């Protein structure tokens, strides 16, 4: 499409592709638009603003033949903030500290078992169905909140963008099914529901729990942080034990 | 606000230095999270500035995933070629994780309460 542009515009376009301004501005504009769409649709699991923004931006890149590297020149300024945001998770974890202390053993046992089982089963199933190593490894941290999950994938030789997609799909699926699953499995305790939702489907499911019950929301929040820590410690072991 | 940002960055920096020096498989920012959590527990909680800055970050967390997520354009072939393996892996493991975590916690947390009820 570049060749269809009049020459001066082509120069402007070529210039902007080497600068951070365009990628950064477009990302923020698309995000604000996605927030509007999500509010208008009534916060459905499918109109999650992160998912919407990624779909819209990916479509823009593909349709304008813009490389991801050119886009990332600008988007890196947003991406960088994932680090301090991960550290910031300590603040809500501290707020839930009394609840963690009260049920410490129950939380650690349930969360570690569930988290290891979900990671191992995902990787075993994907490998059995013929997925290559990079896909299998990238699936491992899919239940961990995105900034931590991408860090884990990077350290283990996975592809962080693949992990980001898997994390998002897991969150959407988990959020859609969690209420029904809890009813079928007779999980009636709100602390247990929140913990399970936060452990397996992190932020998105936790925000759904928060709407249903305050305690469930608090336990979901602490599960997000704890699962991030536990998975970063345990996943390297699982990967070497099963030889992924 | 700048001071709170400094605290977050210093924790991340310290975590990253420890990670790089020790070769631990835990991401640097996660070590920073643990350090900040320990600090908060020892000092009795965050300052209002730190709390507001942290909550500001977390309220907009969804935006911060977008640049990495758009990286999916470089992985479309990988996703298409492994669509079945990926979707089966995610569906089964998510159901399994929800049931096991929920049932265990449902059982253990109740046990925890029993002494108080007795």
Instruction: List the domain boundaries for chain B.
Output: 1-64, 74-118
**Whole-angstrom distance, CA of residue A131 vs CA of residue B79:** 10
pLDDT tens digits, one per residue of A179-191 = 889 999 999 888 8
**Whole-angstrom distance, CA of residue A149 vs CA of residue A143:** 8
**Which of B29, B36, B91 has the CB atom closest to A173's CB atom?**
B91
Tell me what percent of the residues of chain B surpass a pLDDT of 90. Answer: 56
Cα–Cα separations (whole angstroms), residue A19 to A72, A75, A76, A88, A239: 10, 11, 12, 30, 40
Contact B97 A85 (CB under 8 A): no
According to the per-residue pLDDT averaged within each range, which of A189-203, A204-218, B32-46, B102-116 is highest? Answer: B32-46
pLDDT tens digits, one per residue of A154-167 = 889 999 889 988 99
Q: Which two tokens stand for residue B66?
A: 């977008």
Contact A196 B34 (CB under 8 A): no
- Chain A nearest-CA distance from B118, in A, is 17
Closest CA to A90 of A233, A221, A234, A230: A221
Complex confidence, ipTM: 0.86
Contact A154 B72 (CB under 8 A): no
Q: Cβ(A206)–Cβ(A221) under 8 Å?
A: yes
In our burial notation (b when 16+ CB lie closer than 10 A, e otherwise), range A72-95 reads bbbbeebbebbbbbbbbbbbbbbb
pLDDT tens digits, one per residue of A95-135 = 878 877 888 899 999 999 999 999 999 999 999 999 999 99
What residues of B are in contact with residue A49 (Cβ under 8 Å)?
A: 62-63
Cα–Cα separations (whole angstroms), residue B100 to A111, A113, A207, A222: 9, 8, 21, 18
**Whole-angstrom distance, CA of residue A97 vs CA of residue B43:** 13
Q: How many CA atoms lie within 13 A of A171 on its CB side?
A: 30
Q: In A, residues 96-125, which contact B (CB 8 Å cutoff)? A: 97, 102-103, 105-107, 109-111, 113-115, 117-119, 121-123, 125
Q: Which two tokens stand for residue B11?
A: 């924790």
pLDDT tens digits, one per residue of A168-213 = 889 888 888 888 899 999 998 888 998 999 899 887 788 778 777 8
**Whole-angstrom distance, CA of residue A96 vs CA of residue B45:** 11
To which residue do tokens 């977008």 refer? B66
Contact B89 A123 (CB under 8 A): yes
Q: For chain B, report the end-to-end CA distance as a whole number of angstroms.
A: 49
- Interface with A, mutate which of B48, B85, B94 (most A CBs under 10 A): B94
Q: Cβ(A206)–Cβ(A198) under 8 Å?
A: yes
């Amino acid at each position: 499409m570049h060749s269809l542009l009049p020459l001066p515009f082509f120069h402007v376009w070529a210039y902007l592709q080497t600068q951070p301004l365009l990628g950064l501005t477009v990302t923020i504009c698309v995000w604000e638009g996605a927030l509007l769409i999500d509010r208008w649709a009534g916060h459905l699991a499918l109109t999650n603003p992160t998912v919407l923004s990624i779909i819209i931006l990916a479509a823009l890149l593909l349709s304008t033949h813009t490389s991801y590297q050119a886009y990332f020149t600008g988007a890196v300024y947003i991406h960088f903030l994932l680090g301090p945001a991960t550290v910031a998770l300590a603040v809500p974890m501290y707020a839930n500290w009394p609840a963690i202390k009260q049920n410490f053993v129950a939380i650690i046992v349930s969360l570690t078992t569930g988290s290891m089982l979900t990671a191992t089963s995902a990787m075993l199933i994907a490998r059995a169905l013929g997925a290559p190593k990079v896909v299998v490894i990238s699936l491992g941290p899919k239940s961990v909140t995105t900034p931590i999950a991408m860090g884990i994938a990077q350290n283990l030789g996975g592809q962080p963008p693949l992990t980001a997609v898997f994390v998002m799909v897991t969150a959407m699926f988990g959020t859609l099914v969690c209420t029904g699953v809890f009813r079928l499995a007779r999980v009636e305790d709100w602390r247990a529901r929140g913990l399970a939702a936060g452990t397996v489907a992190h932020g998105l499911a936790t925000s759904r729990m928060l709407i249903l019950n305050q305690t469930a929301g608090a336990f979901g929040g602490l599960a997000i942080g704890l699962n991030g820590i536990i998975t970063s410690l345990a996943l390297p072991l699982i990967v070497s034990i099963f030889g992924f | 606000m700048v001071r709170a940002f400094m605290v977050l960055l210093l924790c991340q920096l310290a975590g990253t230095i420890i990670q790089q020096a020790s070769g631990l498989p835990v991401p640097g920012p996660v070590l920073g999270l643990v350090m900040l959590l320990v600090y908060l527990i020892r000092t009795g909680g965050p300052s209002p500035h730190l709390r507001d800055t942290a909550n500001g970050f977390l309220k907009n967390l969804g935006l911060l995933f977008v640049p990495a997520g758009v990286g999916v354009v470089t992985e479309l072939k990988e996703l298409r070629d492994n669509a079945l393996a990926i979707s089966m892996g995610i569906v089964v493991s998510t159901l399994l994780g929800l049931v096991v975590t929920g049932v265990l916690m449902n059982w253990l947390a109740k046990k925890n309460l029993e002494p108080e009820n007795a």
